[in-house]
Amino acid sequence: MGIYAFKMPDIGEGVVEGEVVAWHVEIGATVKEDDPILDVMTDKATVTIPSPVDGVVRTRKGNVGDILAVGHICISFDIDGDGNSSEEETPEPESEVKKKAAKKPKVEVKEPKPEVVEKASGARPLASPAVRKRANEAGIDLASVNGSGPAGRITQSDLDSWKDAGSPVAAAGPSRSALSGTTEVPVIGLRRKIAEQMHKSYSKIAHFSYFEEIDVTNLENLRQHLNANRSEGAPKLSYLPFIMQALVKGLAERPECNAHYDDERQVVIRHSAINLGIATQTERGLYVPVVKNVEAMDLWQCASEMQRVTDAAKDGSAALDLLSGSTFTITSLGRLGGLGATPIINHPEVGILGIHNAADSAVVRDGNIVIRRMMRVSSSWDHRVVDGFDGAMLVQILKKYLEHPATIFM
């Protein structure tokens, strides 16, 4: 019988540490080689780490939310054979780690306790002058009316209820109570990674935003025609594949927008490939899977690949390479609509495009009011390296292609 100590593996992509998201095994559990033992979140993705051996879990290190460094022992097993570790080299039992670890703020959920507002004996009932006047004219003693307003204030509807019921008891209505207490929610896992990335982006990047409205009436007609005549198995087209194709042409014309900015070296790295990050809201939080080499795809390939990567992000199967390598990001607010937004750039990229919903609107064309399908877009740019003219020009190029969709494919 021996002890096998397992170290936090090098997951790649320059990752030097990971956050414990979930343990799949308890101390004393019997595991087989390749059984999942631990979920670790890095800057790029959540990775499930399999067991390297058959054995019984002896010790494990780290609670959910703890950060483990690559190369440090995170779990040990009792195995048949000599093993690779002595008793002294194995991690301390989990109970000992807890005792020696720095104390973390205790997360306490305080249950709200109702505070019933009662009238003090002999206190003057709370009511507005108008309510007092009406009660006086109707011969109603306000002391016998239960108020439903803030702090027990008597309202006009309370007087109506009192008169309809004919007695103070029946007129009491539903009781109201004030609430107190708070609920603390720990910021761990993906939420902590999102917070760190947003802080890095907004603290390092000098954002400026630019908004535009695009007439997508012709694009909508083309989209409906293509969907009605698509081949069997082909994905249904939303606006995004057209926007992706238009961005390929637009970014070729404005290559300064398809770039990364290296803060430390102070170098702008322009990319030949167009790898579009697609911001995707999931049950676990925001992910940005990447459609790579969009410049080599046609419209239907864009739609299929976008569906594949976003589905992988939503179901948790997205690997590291699927969540890294973007050169420009699209975020779609979709059905939420909105008049505008100021999307935060996906560092170290230099721009991001936000797509709002399309809706029929009354607009003026040649002096006449007509109904057109309009879509608003929002964009943000790294003003350290992208001038306002450059960012605005890319949006205007995109507008030109989307308003005349045939030109996207010429």
Show which residues are catalytic: 383, 387
Rounded to an integer, what distance in angstroms lies between the CA atom of residue 3 and that of residue 90? 8
Give 99-151 as a DSSP string: HHSPPPPP--BPPP--EE--PPTTPPPPB-HHHHHHHHHHT--GGGS---SGG
Residue 256: strand, helix, or coil = helix
Q: How far is CA 264 from the centre of its chain?
A: 28
Provide the 8-state DSSP code for 110.
P
Rounded to an integer, what distance in angstroms lies between the CA atom of residue 331 and that of residue 336? 12
Burial 191-211 (b: 16+ CB within 10 A, else e): ebbeeebeeebeeebebbbbb
Based on C-alpha coordinates, what's the Rg of the chain?
31
Residue 98: strand, helix, or coil = helix
List CB contacts of 408: < 8 A, sequence separation 6 or more: 242, 245, 246, 249, 401, 402
Identify whether the C-beta of residue 345 lies closer than 8 Å to the C-beta of residue 207. yes
Encoded tokens for 409: 């494919």
Of 380, 289, 365, nearest in space to 326 by CA = 289
Encoded tokens for 394: 């890319």
CA distances from 206 to 64, 209, 345 (A): 35, 10, 10
End-to-end Cα spacing for the chain: 70
Which H helix or E strand runs over 321? none
Strands (E), 169-318: 177-178, 207-215, 259-262, 267-270, 276-282, 285-287, 290-291
Of 104, 121, 45, nearest in space to 313 by CA = 45
Encoded tokens for 94: 């989990």
Encoded tokens for 115: 């505070």
Rounded to an integer, what distance in angstroms lies between the CA atom of residue 146 and that of residue 156? 12
